[in-house]
Amino acid sequence: MENYYWLGLKAVHGIGNVAFRRLLEHFDSPEAALNASPGSLAVVRGMTPPVVEAIKSGAWRRFAEEECRRLEVSGARLVNYLSADYPKSLFEIPDPPPFLYVKGELRSRELAIAIVGSRRATSYGLLTTGKLAEALAGHGVCVVSGMARGVDTAAHKGALQAGGRSIGVLGCGVDTVYPPENRALFEKMAEKGCLVSEFPLGTLPLAENFPRRNRIISGLSRGVLVVEAAEKSGSLITAQYALDHGRDVYAVPGNISFATSRGCNRLIKQGAKLVDCVEDILEELPAAALAAVDTPLLQSSPRIFALTPREAAIYELLVRSPLHIDDIISQTELTAGEVSSMLLHLELKGAVTPLPGTHYAATG
C-alpha cells in the first residue's frame, strides 16, 4: 500500500521532484500529503491552487492503482529516497527522483564510474570501452551507463564479463527492452547488476527522456568517462551534468579525422582528464574506497542507513557542502529544535559528522 501513495503523489499534475520532497518534509508521508486539507496544502511552498485542486480531485488514484498492478507482474520494485538502499550519491544532484523503479541489486553506496559515448561507435571505440570497463570492474568499480547501442552496451558487457557490477539507467520503463537486440543483456543486468529508471512502467524510449536519464547516470557516479562523442551528443550532456554535480570528467582521445572523436577531443581541450589506460581513472579515486588496485573486486563497506523525510531534507543539504546549523534551519522548513533533533539522529546513524563552530557535514 505504501507504493500506492508514492506513485499517486508523483502522478499529480504540477508536482515535480522538488515539490514532492517539500510535501514529504512537511507531512512526513505521501499518504498524509494526499489526504491533507486544502488549507494545510496551501502553506507548503509551491502549492498553487491548481496543484491543490489536482491533489484533492483524486484523479491520481487510477494511475496509482494500475501502476501497482503493473509493478506486481513486472519483476521490478520501487526504491524510494527514504529507503536504506536508495543511492546516497543522488542526494548530491539538484532534483533527485523521489523513487526509482529497480530490477536487480541497488546499493546505497557504491564506488562507480559512468562510461558513455556514441551509439555509432567505431570498432576502436567499442574495443577501448570494453577493455576499460573490464579493468574498472576488476578493481571493484561499478560501471554505470545508459543501456543504449554502441559504447553503452560495450561498457555493460565489459563489466559483466570481468565478473563485476554494472548499473543500466534507462530512458524508458524498466519493463521496456530498448534497443530490442539487447534483451539478453537486459536479463544479465537484472541478474548480475541492476537496471533503474525514474519513468513509469511502459514508458517508451522517447527522445525527451534521455537528458533526464543522463543526470541520473552522472548522479550515481564519482566520475564520467566519455569514449567517442560527436560535437553535439547526449554524452556531452552527461559530461555537463557531471561538471554541474562536481564529478570528474574523463575522455578518451580519438582520431582527429572522425566525427565521433570531436566531442572527446574538445572535452580534453576544456580540461577533462585524458585517459589512455585504467590507471588514469584509478589514481583519481579515493584511497579509502580503492586501497589496492591490484586486489580484484575490493570494496569498502560504508554504513547503510534509512532516512525519515526530515532527516532526508537535512542530509540532502549537507551532501552538497558543510553548513552551519543556522544555515540548515534557514534552508529547511523545520524549527531549530527539529533541526537539532534530526542532526543528532543523523549523527547516530553515521550519516553526518559535527564540525567545529556548530557546522555539520555529510559523512563521506
Residue 105 DSSP SS3 = coil
Q: Which pLDDT does position 161 carry in this prediction?
A: 94
The pLDDT of residue 36 is 96
- Is the pTM higher than 0.75? yes
Q: Where are the alpha helices (DSSP H) in the chain?
A: 2-11, 17-27, 30-34, 38-42, 49-57, 60-74, 123-138, 151-161, 183-192, 209-219, 234-244, 259-269, 279-282, 309-318, 325-331, 336-348
Reading the block at residue 82, the C-alpha cell is 527514504
What's the CA gap between 80 and 84, in Å, rounded? 9
Instruction: Mention every residue, 6+ apart, whose C-beta is less than 8 A from residue 133.
Output: 115, 143, 154, 155, 156, 157, 158, 159, 162, 166
Q: Angle 132-135-138 (CA atoms, 0-180°, nearest 5)? A: 150
Residue among 282, 270, 193, 278 at smallest CA distance from 239? 270
The predicted pLDDT at position 287 comes to 66
For the chain, list the domains and their CATH numbers: 2-74 (1.10.150), 104-282 (3.40.50.450), 309-362 (1.10.10.10)
Per-residue pLDDT for the chain (364 aa), expressed as one digit of tens each?
A: 789 999 999 999 999 999 999 999 999 999 999 999 999 999 998 899 999 999 999 999 999 999 999 999 999 999 999 999 999 999 999 899 999 999 999 998 899 999 999 999 999 999 999 999 999 999 999 999 999 999 999 999 999 999 999 999 999 999 999 999 999 999 999 999 999 999 999 999 999 999 999 999 999 999 999 999 888 788 999 999 999 999 999 999 988 888 888 999 999 999 999 999 999 999 998 765 655 344 444 444 456 788 999 899 899 899 888 999 999 999 987 889 999 999 998 998 889 999 988 999 998 6
Q: Tell me the residue length of the chain.
A: 364
How many whole angstroms separate alpha carbon 319 and alpha carbon 278? 28
Q: What is the pLDDT of residue 106?
A: 94
pLDDT computed for residue 320 by the predictor: 85
Q: Does residue 211 have a cis peptide bond before it, meaning omega lies within 30 degrees of 0?
A: no
8 Å CB contact between 68 and 155: no
Cell of 361: 557535514
CA atoms lying within 13 Å on the CB side of residue 216: 26
